[in-house]
Amino acid sequence: LTSTSNCKTFRYIWTSVWTSPRTQISGLQINHNTSRTTLVQFVSSMQSSSLFLDSIVARYDWLLTFAHSPAVTPLLSTNDPPPCLQSAQLNASIKSFSTALPELQGELDTLRKAVASLEAQMSRLLSLKRECESILSPFRRLPPEMLMEILRCTWTTYERYSEARRDMHRSGFNVFDIKRGPWYLGHVCRSWRDAVENLCPDLWSNMIIEIPPRTGSPFHRAMKRNMVALLERVLERTRGHQLDFSFKHYSSGSSQEGQVMAQCFSLMLTHSRQWRRTELVITPPLLSRMSLIHGKVDWLEELYLTCNGDPIPTNINAFEVAPRLKILHLENMHRSAQVRFPGANLVSFFDGRRFSGHDVTQRYLHVIASSPNLVSFSWHHHSHIPVSSPPYYPLITHPTLKELSASSGKLLRSLRLPALTQMALRSGREDFDDVPVKCPPDALSELHDLLVRSQCPLTVLSLVDAVINEHLFAIIALCPHLRNLSVEFNGWTGEPDTFMASLVRGMSETQVVEGLHRHILVPDLKYLDIKLIAVEDNHISFIDREFVEMIVSRVGSESYSSSPLKLLALTVIGTGWDCDLGAADYRALNALNGNHGFHLTTMLENADTDTD
């Protein structure tokens, strides 16, 4: 056979095998009822094709044994011209090779096309096999109860706690994003869609109701035409299940957004009997409509309510009858507005609003006194307040309160808290910006007296813009079990420097206990966080070599405390400031990193000295 006839013969056999009406794979002509005779013919064709391929390879077996003549081989290693006889032989070989090369190239091209076609057929065959296996898979016929549990495993929640705002954010699917959450699960197949829509109300009951931002533009919202209808459908599919949701609408939105969110808010109000955990960030007009759900929140356990915008002086009685209420966090209510709620089951209370006068202290004391299960209480007044003055109120002893965040001297003077373990002396943030309000001048002294009265096992102490004086050292001395100490100054003026230096010296002193040097002040301290923000052209003298030596001694060694310091976070941000640390001191601090599990975090910006 010539090369041309070889190719034609191969193509004929190839076509006859793979395009036969009874054996074509790509067209799926071999169906599930293929006869035994057809299969035998298919196998026979494959065998003949294999024999033909073997014959193609065999035609070029002569190349495996081909060799130059002994007279030609030496010429390969020299530059001598070949004799006439050898020249004639070489030219004849070249002509023969030149003739064979196109023939072999043609065979290769044909085979490559055949391989490419086979690979495509292989891919198609594997796909068909997977489809058949998929149809037979028992996963397609899971009992509804098992499918429900699998779908529920796709629902995850997390909690993020903000110390500054005391707010809680829970994850959930955005009602208006049909590419996520249970909307997306319903697109898998009919059985999944039926299960998601009819058997899993809890999947629809954890939601976020907020117009999502446009792609690439966090300040512009992506409006949809059917937002209210989407929310209606979601609420229908909850089938009366308890709702955990976050509703956020900001006053900066467009009028169209306001109309849509107002309709959505009305829908949520009609389902208030399903509310369990609720976060509301709403405008004053929406806040004024809360009275519509009075007596209709029997399942409500947690409420995080924030007024976005200038609050109106209207009392809120929507939660006056909420027998299950455990957590109530209020933010930016009007300074004179009263929010009525039951305290029988209250565990956590937070109120952050502008100060309206010392007479409101009695209202907050009533919250503490009337909440026997209260564990956490926070009152941030978000504005400067004067030193406390009479009248003072009778002392209230609360046996279960463990966490307190406040700075009102009048409030602190009226409390006795024997179970207190976490104390934050802070006033809040004015106008919700980044600069905290300074604590009143009497806050530190009243905190000292509170600790003396309570004799409590305090383990966490945070001081934010407290007026530092001689009471600081005394307070630390009253907390032998303290494990976490945080001190923050915004707008450092240098006035606290002397008292901070005195504290550093006190924290350096040790005594020998059972052969170990144990620190006298806060011997169990694990975490120390010091922040100085907005330091303008000031010298910080308490951050010096003695400070470094105190840290070194607390990180621990064989002769020092068995309860070493685990973390130092040191932050100084400002312009033109300096301190008394030298290069050797910085090296000593950095050398501690990783020693006995110690971790060092420093942020020292715009210092006049080298802090590298």
For 74-113, what is the HEC assignment? Answer: HHHHCCCCCCHHHHHHHHHHHHHHHHHHHHHHHHHHHHHH
| Residue 107 resides in a domain | yes
Could you tell me if 312 and 285 are in contact, meaning their C-beta atoms sit under 8 angstroms apart? no
Assigned domain for 34 exists: yes
Q: What are phi and psi of 558, to 5 degrees?
A: -65, -25
pLDDT, position 185: 82
Given a cut of 70, is residue 430 above it in pLDDT?
Answer: no
With cut-offs at 50, 70 and 90, classify the pLDDT of residue 204.
Answer: very high
Instruction: Tell me, yes or no, whether 113 lies in a domain.
Output: yes
> pLDDT band at 1, cuts 50/70/90?
very low
Write down the pTM of the prediction. Answer: 0.76
Query: Residues 447, 412: contact at Cβ < 8 Å?
Result: yes
**According to the 3-state scheme, what is the secondary structure of 234-287?**
HHHHHCCCCEEEEEECCCCCCHHHHHHHHHHHHHHHHCHHHEEEEEEEECHHHH
Residue type, 570: L
Q: Are 479 and 445 in contact (CB under 8 A)?
A: no
Total domain count, the chain: 1
Examine residue 532 and state whether it is found in any structural domain, yes or no: no
Long-range residue pairs from 429-434, CB within 8 A, at least 24 positions apart, any chain:
429/164, 429/380, 429/382, 430/382, 430/383, 430/384, 431/382, 432/332, 432/382
pLDDT confidence of 216, banded at 50, 70, 90? low
For residue 103, is it within any domain?
Answer: yes
Give mean pLDDT, residues 33-59: 66
Residue 30 domain boundaries: 3-65+81-136
User: By three-state DSSP, how is residue 552 classified?
Assistant: helix
The per-residue pLDDT for range 406-424, each reduced to its tens digit, is 999 999 999 999 999 999 9
**In the numeric block, which tokens belong to residue 408?**
């009102």
Q: Is 459 a residue whose pLDDT tops 50?
A: yes
Q: Which residue has the higher pLDDT, 60 or 430?
A: 60
Whole-angstrom distance, CA of residue 300 vs CA of residue 325: 6
- Rounded to an integer, what distance in angstroms lies between the CA atom of residue 246 and that of residue 293? 17
Q: Is position 127 within any domain?
A: yes
Per-residue pLDDT averaged across 476-498, rounded?
A: 93
40 domain-assigned: yes
Instruction: List, for residues 250-282, the tens digit of each pLDDT value.
Output: 877 778 888 999 999 999 999 999 999 999 999
Q: In this structure, is residue 119 part of a structural domain?
A: yes
80-110: pLDDT as tens digits: 888 888 888 889 888 888 888 898 898 889 8
